[in-house]
Amino acid sequence: MAVNLDELYEQGMETYNKGDYAAAESLFHRILAINPRFADIQNKLGIIYNQTNRMELAAKAFESALETNPGYTEASLNLAITYSDLGKYDKAREVFERAARFSNAGAGEIDPFIKGKLANEHLKIGAIYTDLRLLDEAIEEYEKALRLSPNFADIITRLGIAYREKGRYDEAISQFNRAKEVNSRFIPARVHLGLTYYSRGFYGLAEEEWQEALKIDPNNAAVKTYLNFVKPQQS
């Protein structure tokens, strides 16, 4: 009996979406035996390998997807993440930057899902630079992330922290306030704004931010501790 590729694909996708990776993997291999240049299946097979901790196989699957379709942004992002998990940071960055170039090519609008994934990868790279005390590079990555996703309070706050650690206090305060505007209940923005005020000797302003944070989360132990620190400074 002739194998129906469409039926195999439907069965494979159904098992994949149900999380039955063993069955999906078997079906995907059967599909690729018939048509090895099926980028979507190669990508999904890579995801299965990644999720089941077979990282080298995952990388090969994503590489195959990109050989088939060099402009496949999702596969590029998946490969960059897998390279990073394998400790191949230079290769991860190279693939990620290529994905970003593809996504920004032309005048068309980038899919919001891809924008979010790209922004998240810039955020991760920025965090690595921050840990290495390469703050100018970190700021550049956070700014790239915000060009893609300007209303992510977490990224805005990370940018503010990097500015503060560079001694650029006014810019830090501006970013923390911006994060509050985006999400008034985002506690880290208020916490770090308070810390910045405190470090500059504006103890009353610091207390205001921490009191507001405590209203949002009355059980926040860190904020309670900060408030205890600020009281002796005001006496």
CA distances from 3 to 31, 45, 158, 164, 194 (A): 10, 20, 53, 62, 65
Amino acid letter for position 86: L
Structure tokens given for 110: 């980038």
Q: How many CB atoms lie within 10 A of CB 51?
A: 11
148 and 119 in contact (C-beta within 8 Å)?
yes
141 and 126 in contact (C-beta within 8 Å)?
yes
187-206 as b/e, with b when 16 or more CB fall inside 10 Å?
Answer: bbbbbbbbbbbbeeeebebb
pLDDT at residue 89 in the model: 81
Q: What is the average per-residue pLDDT within 138-153?
A: 91
Distance CA 222, CA 180 (A): 19
234 and 204 in contact (C-beta within 8 Å)?
yes
Q: Please indicate, yes or no, whether the overall pTM of this predicted structure exceeds 0.75.
A: no
Quick one: pLDDT band at residue 107, thresholds 50, 70, 90? very low
Percent of the chain with pLDDT over 90: 47
206 and 230 in contact (C-beta within 8 Å)?
yes
Residue 110, pLDDT > 80, answer no
Average pLDDT of every residue of the chain: 86
Residue 145, pLDDT > 80, answer yes
